[in-house]
Structure 1
Amino acid sequence: MTTLLYRGHQYQQSNASQGKPGVQLVYRRNVYQARQISNSPSQAKLTYRGVNYTR
């Protein structure tokens, strides 16, 4: 274990890491763009004080 120093006092870390494997994040541009297009409505229908608007 590693001996740590904090404000002049030495101690040993009690919660050592468990050695879990790291997760690597991947950005897939074409997948992201396809999901953005498929999830977005072509025109949003809004209502404000009884008056309908399209955006």
Structure 2
Amino acid sequence: MEADLAYGYGLTSLDIIMLMSGICQDAGVPLTALAEDDIGALKTPADIVAVLGQKAPA
């Protein structure tokens, strides 16, 4: 959960956006609910979980 998305998994910024698009769809969170700063701050899988936890419907 702490591996770096760019260095550990080799993801580019576009890859991260595409990943988040799929994850958001599966989680029922619209991608538009994430601010540019939210996506820019995603460095690890744990960051993804934290952001989705904040944005997911109750």
TM-score by length of 1: 0.27
Q: Which has the higher strand share?
A: 1
Q: Which has the higher helix share?
A: 2
Higher RCO by CA contacts (8 Å cutoff, separation 6 or greater): 2
* Higher Cα Rg, which structure: 1
TM-score by length of 2: 0.26
